[in-house]
Amino acid sequence: MLPPGSTIGILGGGQLGRMMAMAALQLGYRVIGYAPEGDNVAADACSAFLTAEWDDADALARFAAACDVVTWEFENVPVAAVEALPSRLLACPKAALEVAQDRLAEKRFALAHGGTPAPFAPVGSEAEFPEAVARIGTPGILKTAREGYDGKGQWRVGSALEASGIRFPGVPCIYEGFITYETEFSVILVRCKDGQTRFWDSTANLHEGGMLARSILPAGALVEAQVPAARDLAARVAEALGYVGVLTLEFFATRDGPVFNEMAPRVHNSGHWTIEGAATSQFENHIRAICGLPLGGTKTRFEAIEMRNIVGEEALAAHAMLAEPGEPHLHLYGKAEAREGRKMGHVTRVGHALP
Ligand code: AMP
């Protein structure tokens, strides 16, 4: 067990790091953040924050010297930056990042562990695109293999003709068949070094424009029926990676069962409801797992829960939401600019406490 007063290093400076740092402070730890220049809203909640590029060897060495354990809040931290840190500091093996950074690698990994992803084909260059569309069929989605998030770096393809009109992004891509689904859901687990694993209830996740808009509990009968198989896959993936901390897998609930979409080796937007809605939040259990503390319970505390993201300028009037019915719990991330499509905060409403 990492003693109180020890220092947790967090790679990445966004809202996930901010909420992780708040949980760490509550447990008596110090937190040092590390991220390149940007709107690093995690810094507000950190004891110290190092603003440096991912390839700044001196800064990474200073960061490492100050930390007792290191985690990340962002899956696109370059693997080289993680490799520059002494491996004894890493709470979780870097393999989790390597797999999750590449859509092809994560789909192959899920397949290898018994999961069912959407039909897919690698598209290494523009020349391979028509062949991939012919093989997988339409409709489909072309996605950059790396770096895309919240629907960015994605192009819907309605027909082969439409595919010929898409300006190929010039980086390796993946082409996926379009899945017809009833709803999306996520499995969020926390795993300790000794393999002990706990799951939170799975929310139904509603996306708008490729970005999560709302997460809802109860998730409905179809999701509930598919959760056991989805959890089995998530547990096998976590075990294969030697995973420590919170891991998220996202699924489409289809009539034929759960289709794996992607994984995030970190706390997840669809788990923000756990702050008020579960016995222990995803942030706290992540910190507990990486520090070797006993895990907290993951039981849902209310009959109904809704987490809604606050996006762009909506944040400017967010305090007024506190007067609305349904016990809204407001979380604003302190971002400087309320740009369109930017996650600025979230609000969680709960109904009827469970006994
Ligand atoms: P992703 O970045 O892969 O999570 O994609 C963002 C969102 O786009 C997903 O949450 C879905 O709403 C939608 N989407 C992505 N891939 C597919 C697919 N193969 N079929 C249908 N919808 C998809």
Residue 162's pLDDT band, with cuts at 50, 70 and 90, is confident
- State mean pLDDT over 297-310: 97
- In the reported structure, the alpha carbon of residue 305 is separated from the centroid of ligand 1 by a whole-number distance in angstroms of 23
Residue nearest to atom 18 of ligand 1 (CA): 178
Same domain? For 81 and 141 the reply is no
- State mean pLDDT over 117-137: 95
- State mean pLDDT over 294-316: 97
Domain membership flag for residue 97:
no
Query: With 80 as the cut, is the pLDDT of residue 151 above it?
Result: no
Domain membership flag for residue 221:
yes
Model confidence, pTM: 0.96
Give pLDDT, residue 159: 87
Query: With 80 as the cut, is the pLDDT of residue 149 above it?
Result: no
Query: With 80 as the cut, is the pLDDT of residue 148 above it?
Result: no
Same domain? For 133 and 229 the reply is no
Query: With 90 as the cut, is the pLDDT of residue 311 above it?
Result: yes
Same domain? For 205 and 330 the reply is yes
How many domains does the chain divide into? Answer: 3
Q: Kindly state if the Cβ of 139 falls inside 6 Å of ligand 1.
A: no
The phi, psi pair for 310, rounded to 5°, reads: -105, 120
Domain membership flag for residue 321:
yes
Q: What is the Cα–Cα distance from 203 to 176, expressed in whole angstroms?
A: 24
Q: Kindly state if the Cβ of 124 falls inside 6 Å of ligand 1.
A: no
Same domain? For 56 and 192 the reply is no
Same domain? For 283 and 330 the reply is yes
pLDDT tens, residue by residue, 36-68: 999 999 999 999 999 999 999 999 999 999 999
What's the DSSP call for residue 234? H
Query: With 90 as the cut, is the pLDDT of residue 173 above it?
Result: yes
Domain membership flag for residue 275:
yes
- For the ranges 54-58, 70-74, 334-338, the lowest mean pLDDT is seen at 334-338
Residue nearest to atom 8 of ligand 1 (CA): 210
Domain membership flag for residue 113:
no
Q: Kindly state if the Cβ of 73 falls inside 6 Å of ligand 1.
A: no
> 341-353 burial, b if ≥16 CB within 10 A, otherwise e?
ebbbbbbbbbeee
Helix (H) or strand (E) holding 314: none
Residue 327's pLDDT band, with cuts at 50, 70 and 90, is confident
Give pLDDT, residue 182: 96
Tokens of 53: 């590029």
Summary mean pLDDT of the chain:
96
- State mean pLDDT over 182-194: 97
The phi, psi pair for 50, rounded to 5°, reads: -100, 115
Rounded-to-10 torsion of CA 173, 174, 179, 185: -80
Same domain? For 272 and 192 the reply is yes
Rounded-to-10 torsion of CA 179, 127, 109, 97: -110
Same domain? For 141 and 224 the reply is no
Same domain? For 188 and 326 the reply is yes
Domain membership flag for residue 110:
no
Same domain? For 168 and 196 the reply is no
Domain membership flag for residue 306:
yes
Give pLDDT, residue 355: 78
Q: Where does a domain end: 177, 200, 220?
A: 177
Fill in the amino acid letter for 251.
F
Same domain? For 27 and 138 the reply is no
Q: CATH no. for residue 149? A: 3.30.1490.20
Same domain? For 84 and 161 the reply is no
Query: With 80 as the cut, is the pLDDT of residue 290 above it?
Result: yes
> 123-134 burial, b if ≥16 CB within 10 A, otherwise e?
beeeebbeebbe
Residue 102's pLDDT band, with cuts at 50, 70 and 90, is very high
Domain membership flag for residue 229:
yes
Same domain? For 30 and 155 the reply is no
Q: Kindly state if the Cβ of 184 falls inside 6 Å of ligand 1.
A: yes
* Residue ranges making up the domain that contains 54: 7-90
Q: Kindly state if the Cβ of 179 falls inside 6 Å of ligand 1.
A: yes
Give pLDDT, residue 352: 85
Q: Kindly state if the Cβ of 106 falls inside 6 Å of ligand 1.
A: no
Give pLDDT, residue 210: 86
Query: With 90 as the cut, is the pLDDT of residue 294 above it?
Result: yes
- In the reported structure, the alpha carbon of residue 184 is separated from the centroid of ligand 1 by a whole-number distance in angstroms of 9
